[in-house]
Structure 1
Amino acid sequence: MTIQTTTHLNFRGDARQALELYRSVFGGHLVINTYADVGMPAELPGADRVVFGLVAAENGFRVMGYDVPGRAEGSIVGGGSTRRENGSTVTDQALFVSVGSETLDELQGYWDALAVDAVVVEPLAASAWSAGFGMLTDRFGVTWSFGVTAAEA
């Protein structure tokens, strides 16, 4: 038996733009369904927002997202900030999305694409515990942790 987990991100009106970015970075296919697609009258405010969104790539990347009903300002629901301070990561965010690969070269391309208009928390570089580690908060308020993982024996 196997299971699969997929991060589900909750946005306040910009789920479509975030999911389009993630697809452009990680590849794969994008599925978007709006509230209107599932029966909300198209003339109502918010009917064009995302009720179900998915990016799935053959490289293993998967993320879901949707726009929570109601308030549209702000970014990711439950957002906050993450920063480095005195050699430690300080955050009030409930989650990070973690991306791992066996090589720094593979991670670097994803990092470079996602880093556009992002806040770099920790540059992607060799660390005491990994051949590559970095953190950034993208333009939608999602914090990503990148790390080179050891090859399994």
Structure 2
Amino acid sequence: MAELSPYLSFADNCEAAFNFYKSVFGGEFLTLMRFGDVPGEYKPAENESQKVMHVALPIGKNTVLMGSDTPGTVAAPITGSNFSITIAPESKEEAKRLFEGLSAGGTVTMPLSKTFWAESFGMFTDKFGVNWMVNFQ
């Protein structure tokens, strides 16, 4: 079956966002490539050479969180509330750790708590504007 990996676009703070995600999920980047790393014929504007062209962070057994900054030649990323990244942790303790870690500095829209469908469920928007749900059955 096909696998899904979220790909996030940022205006200028992809590296800060992914360092934050790495501090919560742990692990190492599979890839961290900057626009300045591309071959000469594709060189970006000088002020964009340090922006992230592609980053990949494994966050689960078969899930990789990926992202990039948007170069000035492309329209700014669209932000909205029509999607959330949902995490299915393996334990109640992991649910709490991920919820508290990822929501730090963000806005909690539903505190992590027991619901009629889950042992622990909560929703928040992180400090980078990404919507998340944590759902432990």
1:135 paired to 2:108: no
1:69 paired to 2:68: no
SS at match of 1:101: coil
Name the CA distance, whole Å, in 2 between partners of 1:58 and 1:103.
13
Q: Which has the higher strand share?
A: 1
Q: Which has the higher helix share?
A: 2
Does the 8 Å contact 2:59/2:65 carry over to 1? no
Structure 1 residues 2-151: aligned runs within 5 Å: 2-30=1-29, 31-39=31-39, 40-41=42-43, 44-57=46-59, 59-70=61-72, 77-80=77-80, 93-149=81-137
Does the 8 Å contact 1:120/1:136 carry over to 2? yes
Does the 8 Å contact 1:78/1:94 carry over to 2? no
Name the CA distance, whole Å, in 2 between partners of 1:58 and 1:25.
12
Name structure 2 gaps, 5 residues minimum. none
* One-letter amino acid of the structure 1 residue matched with residue 72 of structure 2: G
Percent of paired sites with the same residue: 26
The total of aligned residue pairs comes to 132
* One-letter amino acid of the structure 1 residue matched with residue 107 of structure 2: V
Does the 8 Å contact 1:29/1:57 carry over to 2? no
- What is the TM-score of this pair, normalised by structure 2? 0.86
- What is the TM-score of this pair, normalised by structure 1? 0.77
Root mean square deviation of aligned Cα: 2.0
SS at match of 2:98: helix
* One-letter amino acid of the structure 2 residue matched with residue 29 of structure 1: E
Name the CA distance, whole Å, in 2 between partners of 1:95 and 1:19.
19
